[in-house]
Structure 1
Amino acid sequence: LLVWSCTSSPSEPAATPTPEPEPLVPKAQYTLTADQVHSKFSRSIPPVLTVPSGSIIEAYTQEATAGQITPSSTVADLATLSFDPIHPLTGPVYVEGAEPGDVLAVTLHEVELDTWGWSAILPGFGYLADTFTEPYLKIYDIDKTAKTAQFADGHIIDLTPFPGVMAVAPDTDSLLNTIPPRANGGNMDDPNMTVGTTVYFPVWVKGALFSIGDGHATQGHGEVCGTAIEAPLRFVYEVNVIKGGRQLEEPEYETKDYYATTAYATTLDEAARRATMNMVNYLMTEKGMGRNEAYVLCSIAGDLKIAEVVDVPHVLVSMHMDKKTMPK
């Protein structure tokens, strides 16, 4: 009995899957250099650039210490490290039309690595500061093409770069340090805020006065030792003013797959509670859900994530919600 088979021969090679194309990066209309920086938050800091809503900006940034740590630094250099110039932020950018009560949407289109970065244990700083009391410094060579860094011989770390600090100006003339996250954003250290993410900032002052910096070549959730792979980075981002929408109390963000609310507080418990309530409010206001329904959906489909725990006096927690689980 002769049986003809219509199936492919086992010897035939499997079809090669078509890789997803790289996202197109829009051309920047403006460029900011790494020396156009400030290291405090205040409405009194004058803008270095004024742009209309919808503008695309290229921003070069310094690493977190403003040049105090270099590729040739040793652990001895940590003893003289000054926190005063931390963090050097490129900006501020005045966005025309932005008014208090509006929302500034910032979309990250591109993040370009440099060729080096560093991590450190700084005595007195970090989640386990009482346990790790000796200074430590690690300098990395970064492969920009492969997006990797060598942690040790044969130990390669994949890199997902992002800005540790993004912020609009707070409504104060006081010069606030940039270490903790606040309602204006700031040192959020959230590794999810990377290419393809749009971050929504409540606007507190005219023009918003947006700044970016504290480049992280990569970081885990928590940033437990107090540093990521700190590195100078280049960003391409877009700014858009949103009027007449929901009033935000602190930043929120989204990707093509999920929406996220954030909350800063002096304890993880309080930050987690507020991030959850912020998501409940989002689901009620933007998705038309009832209060109880929204709360239950947060329980069955919301994911609480720790962004960072080391930026005294505040920590940052986010709640993520997959868009497929939300009402259309």
Structure 2
Amino acid sequence: MAHHDFSPTHYHTTIGWHDPVLEIDSGDTVATTTVDARGRDHSGERVTPRGNPQTGPFYIRGAEEGDTLIVRFDQLKPNRPWGWTGGQVAANVVDPGFRPVFTDDPKPQFDDDSNPSFLWDVDIDAGTVQLATGDGPMTKTPIKLDPMVGCFGVAPAGGQAISTATSSTNGGNMDYRGFRQGVEVQFPVYAPGALFHLGDGHAAQGDGEIVGTGVEISFDVKFSVELIKGRTIYWPRAIDETWMMTVGNARPLDQCVQHATTEMLAWLTSDEIGLEARTAHHFLGQCVEYDLGNIFDPAYTMVCKVRREQVEALRRS
């Protein structure tokens, strides 16, 4: 199990079958960095075009179609003291014609950027994030620093390269706030080496990413990988200290629910967990919970989750 330090020099705005930047083995750990969604690094310099630029891809030796790749986020740490957001709740999240909206958007904060944005102070030592643009109540009320990765995944099937604006079975722009430090995320492998990409760090974000951004920021990242040979899954799965989670990425939203629920039933009744179908259906019917991931971009994200302690109790019964 080796440790690798990798400093990116170029980025991708698609997740696809790109030339790998580093080859690693199952069990290895990588320390690297990501830029923010507009391509700005730890110093605030724009080093690559906007669009959730991805660090990678990383080639995992021995990975091939039909395997499962597990990625654990060992560290997700903002590496500069400010981030930025959009401001208005997206039109597709409210009723048509709803008011109020506000029209006093700030001027663009950067000379090379035509879109307005709001700046936020990020205090890593205090563990807080606070609006720094304007003088309203949010500039006086800090919120919790809660780092997460918005866009990451493996190369999709068939040699495709899928835009980092959206998501599919291979992951992508899921913007789920549960993808925090310590989580283990599982992906179906389609390409030789899996080709893992990551980017789009957020210092904080509400469910749904309903203003089109979290608090966008660059990150220092450490992740480790594990390859499970011959285990085939169909949608991303995840585990943290509390939850087992499955992810559906699609539109309309009910299709996301279908994908996530199907993957959870498949997981619970697999040889790995071993519940009978009847038990799994009863359990989900009364105990399942759902979290909303991205509802801003072309594909929406829904997460189906169950408590690990409840699953373990069922397995012991």
- The TM-score, its normalising length taken from structure 1, stands at 0.81
Please state how far the C-alpha of 1:67 moved relative to its aligned partner: 3.2
Offset of 1:171 from its aligned partner? 2.5
- CA offset digits 1:79-109 (Å, max 9, x no partner): xxxx974121100000101111100100011
Displacement of 1:40 in angstroms is: 1.2
Q: CA deviation at 1:258?
A: 1.6
SS in 1 for 2:178: coil
Cα offsets for 1:253-290 (capped at 9, x unmatched) = 00122211111111111211221121111111132222
Q: Which residue matches 1:296?
A: 282
Task: Say which of 255, 265, 271 aligns to 2:240.
Answer: 255
Aligned counterparts of 2:92 and 2:2: Cα–Cα separation in 1: 37
What residue is the counterpart of 1:105 in the other structure? 70
For residues 300 and 124 of structure 1, the distance between their equivalents in structure 2, rounded to whole angstroms, comes to: 32
Alignment of 1:275 onto 2:260:
yes
Q: CA deviation at 1:39?
A: 1.3
- The reply to whether residue 41 of structure 1 matches residue 15 of structure 2 is yes
**Pair 1:188 & 2:153 matched:** no
Aligned length: 289
Instruction: Work out whether residues 260 and 304 of structure 2, in 8 Å CA contact, stay in contact via their aligned partners in 1.
Output: yes
Greater CA deviation, 112-121 or 207-216? 112-121
Superposed displacement of residue 292, structure 1: 2.7
1:17-32 to structure 2, matched below 5 A, reads 29-32=3-6
Q: Partner residue of 2:110?
A: none
2:224 to 221, 229, 238: 238
Q: Does 1:94 align with 2:59?
A: yes
What's 2:134 paired with? none
CA distance in 2, matches of 1:100, 1:226: 33
Select the residue among 128, 136, 140 that pairs with 2:120: 140
User: Could you tell me which amino acid in structure 1 is paired with residue 82 of structure 2?
Assistant: W
Once the two structures are TM-superposed, the CA of residue 129 in structure 1 deviates from its matched residue by 9.9
Whether 2:35 is the aligned partner of 1:62: answer yes
Q: Deviations over 1:183-215 (max 9, x none)?
A: 110111111111110000100000000011000
The one-letter code matched in structure 2 to 1:105 is I
Q: 1:213 and 2:199 equivalent?
A: yes
Are the aligned partners of 1:123 and 1:133 in contact in 2 as well (CA < 8 Å)?
no
1:265 aligned to which of 238, 250, 256: 250
Give CA-to-partner distance per residue, 1:295-327, whole Å, 9 cap, x none.
Answer: 121121110111121111x11101111011112
Instruction: State the shift of 1:126 in Å.
Output: 6.3
Q: In structure 2, what is the equivalent of residue 117 of structure 1?
A: 83
AA partner of residue 147 (structure 1)? G
Summarize the alignment of residues 2-21 of structure 1 with structure 2, pairs less than 5 Å apart. Answer: none
Kindly indicate whether residue 112 of structure 2 is the aligned counterpart of residue 127 of structure 1: no
Shift of 1:128: 4.5
The CA distance in 2 between the partners of 1:29 and 1:238, in whole Å, is: 9
Q: Which aligned runs of 4 or more in structure 1 are off by greater than 6 angstroms?
A: 70-73, 122-126
What stretches of structure 1 of length at least 5 have no aligned partner? 1-26, 74-82
In the aligned structure 2, how far is the partner of 1:116 from the partner of 1:258? 31
Which is higher, the Rg of structure 1 or of structure 2?
Answer: 1
Determine if contact 2:289/2:305 at 8 Å carries over to the other structure: yes
Fraction of identical pairs, as percent: 28
Query: 1:103, 1:109 → 2: CA distance?
Result: 19
CA distance, structure 2, for counterparts of residue 221 and residue 209 of structure 1: 28
Please state whether the residue corresponding to 1:308 is helix, strand or coil: coil
Contiguous gaps of at least 5 residues in structure 2 = 106-115, 132-137
How far apart are the structure 1 equivalents of 2:309 and 2:89? 44
* Offset of residue 176 of structure 1: 2.4
Distance 1:144 1:160, change over 3 A: same
Moved more, 214-223 or 136-145: 136-145
Q: Is the 8 A contact 1:103 1:242 kept in 2?
A: yes
Q: CA RMSD in A?
A: 2.6
On the 8 A contact 1:28/1:236 being kept in 2, the answer is: no
Tell me if the contact between 1:88 and 1:213 (Cα under 8 Å) persists in the aligned partners.
yes
Matched, 1:169 2:155: yes
Which residue is equivalent to 1:318? 303
